[in-house]
Amino acid sequence: MNIEWPIVVAISKACPEPCCILMLDTTKFDSSENCKLCGTCLSSCPVLNFEEDKAIAEKQRLNTGQPSMVLEKCTTCLSCDLYCPNGFDPYELILLRWNERYQEKGLPALARMVIPEDPVSIWRQLYPLMPPDEQELIKNWRIRSGKSGKDILLTGCFSAFSPYLTMTPLLADLTPYGDERNWCSGGHIYQLGLLDVVDQVGSRLQAVFNELRPKRLVTMMAAEYAMLGKILPQRFNISFDFEVVPLEHYLLDMLRNGQLKLNCQVNKRVAIHDNCFSKAAGDAVWSPVRELVQACGVTIVEMQHNKENALCCGFGAAAGRFDLFDLVEQGKKRLGEAEDTGAEYLIVYCAACYFIFSVVRELVGSKLEIYHILELLDLAEGRQPLHRTRKRAFNIIAIMSANITRMLLQSSARHRFKIDPATIQGTPGSADVDFKADRLCVLYNNFLNNPVMQNPFTLSILTALVRLALAGRRRFSHD
């Protein structure tokens, strides 16, 4: 079996310094000279929760570019920007320090899974595992011709992990466009501190939208709403000349105009997970989400950390050390917080959080049901959503297992790498999608989805092993 690990840009081979380095104006990210060292950003952080003296000391280290535990522990939840009483955006300083780390060392091989252009990304390996109806959606989303001047639903690259979410009449009046090669409008790599790459992605988006020319753009993910409407214009001087609307506003307008017929009360206790990028919009997103959810005939039980204090789903927790244990640990913590409310459903409105929670739920054995807000609205209108969360979670676990196996068995699979800017120049190429399956992924996928592995007893052993590994990791870290 061929288990070669394709290289995007490896520091040790394809891209010696300095060919991957771009010159980004970092002045809009560096607030260190203005910082008053009050420590509020880090002492208020729900993850770090430092005492004041410790917070001041660690912020000073960040300001001066010294090693800081913040750079390992930060979960990129954006809350510190809201906590700073002086408006100096400490989160962006963290991203700048991570960008400096990237320029010096590149990314660890594990990061390839979330690099859309990489042959071993989750997207490339997941599409062949999808059923034909979802594969057809992915193909149609990529097409740009014939969509000019329309109300466009920007599906978002992580929505491509669960394209079935869009199989609802709620979105019938929108024309979908989505291509993971647009890099989530730079959202997830912004969280990783890859600021130069975000700059390149922004230029690509300008070319894409100059061709697409939407009448209005409805973003399915809060990350893309924040990037297109706020972060790219303010931090990168990249702006767009069309209206950008979050999906939550679009759905709320439908509700208030009587277009939604929510006649079937769901009658469940639900918790709502506020994703990290929602904090860039604040109550302009949080309130519409709650109004929509409440209209479905549910009882909302708020988690301890919500809105501006909300914890990360787990994705951002891996940004500091690129460690899957950190991701699963944070996801487990967040699911536990939802379970503590007595909720039966966890409602999310971010496709990335949706897939992270779905995967972590299976790994740790949570009984909480994960629903996207679109699925909840479908239920309230009397339709049964496809809700393929469980099957899709094991598809992604299979992909992760295959990539980890490559790393264990082949030294070249463990090389650190940088992203070649040339791969992000201009608009994405052909709209064709490669549905050729990776054999190692198929092997793991068949194994994990066979009846023996899906037996409740076998799954209980799997979750027990994961929980044991997490406990061991915590003990090791504390030692």
| 327-371 tens-digit pLDDT | 999 999 999 999 999 999 999 999 999 999 999 999 999 999 999
Query: Cα(347)–Cα(408) distance, rounded to whole angstroms?
Result: 36
Residues 168-205: tens digit of each pLDDT: 999 999 999 999 999 999 999 999 999 999 999 999 99
Query: Cα(141)–Cα(122) distance, rounded to whole angstroms?
Result: 18
Query: Cα(214)–Cα(244) distance, rounded to whole angstroms?
Result: 10
Average pLDDT over residues 302-328: 95
pLDDT at 8 over 60: no
pLDDT of residue 80: 96
Task: Name the more confident of 50 and 26.
Answer: 50
The answer to whether 197 and 226 are in contact (CB under 8 A) is no
Long-range contacts (CB closer than 8 Å, 24 or more residues apart) made by 291-295 = 291/252, 291/255, 292/248, 292/251, 292/252, 292/255, 292/373, 292/377, 293/347, 293/373, 293/376, 295/255, 295/260, 295/262, 295/380
pLDDT bucket at 400, cuts 50 / 70 / 90: very high
pLDDT of residue 478: 57
Task: Name the more confident of 22 and 472.
Answer: 472
Share of the chain above pLDDT 90, in %: 88
Q: Which residue has the tokens 């894409």?
A: 208
pLDDT of residue 137: 97
Residues 76-131: tens digit of each pLDDT: 999 999 999 999 999 999 999 999 999 999 999 999 999 998 999 999 999 999 99
pLDDT at 19 over 90: no
pLDDT at 284 over 70: yes
Query: Cα(200)–Cα(198) distance, rounded to whole angstroms?
Result: 5
pLDDT of residue 85: 95
pLDDT bucket at 25, cuts 50 / 70 / 90: confident
Residue whose C-alpha is closest to residue 368's, from 392, 396, 349, 390: 390
Mean pLDDT for all residues in the chain:
92
pLDDT of residue 330: 96
pLDDT bucket at 17, cuts 50 / 70 / 90: very low
Name beta bridge partners: 371: 347
Task: Kindly list the distances between the CA atom of residue 147 and the CA atoms of 156, 178, 205, 417, 433, in Å, as whole numbers in the listed order.
Answer: 16, 12, 16, 36, 19
pLDDT of residue 305: 97
Sign of the torsion formed by the C-alpha atoms of 384, 386, 390 and 391: positive
pLDDT bucket at 26, cuts 50 / 70 / 90: confident
pLDDT at 315 over 50: yes
Average pLDDT over residues 247-262: 97
pTM value? 0.93
Average pLDDT over residues 425-442: 91
CA angle, 423 then 154 then 442, to 5°: 65
Share of the chain above pLDDT 70, in %: 95
Task: Name the more confident of 274 and 412.
Answer: 274
The answer to whether 186 and 233 are in contact (CB under 8 A) is no
Residue whose C-alpha is closest to residue 301's, from 286, 313, 290: 290
pLDDT at 13 over 90: no
pLDDT bucket at 23, cuts 50 / 70 / 90: low
Average pLDDT over residues 153-174: 97
pLDDT at 2 over 80: no
Compute and round to an integer the Cα radius of gyration of the chain.
Answer: 22
Q: Which two tokens stand for residue 465?
A: 């092993």
Q: Which residue has the tokens 């297992």?
A: 401
pLDDT at 238 over 50: yes
pLDDT of residue 53: 96
pLDDT of residue 474: 77
Query: Cα(36)–Cα(46) distance, rounded to whole angstroms?
Result: 21
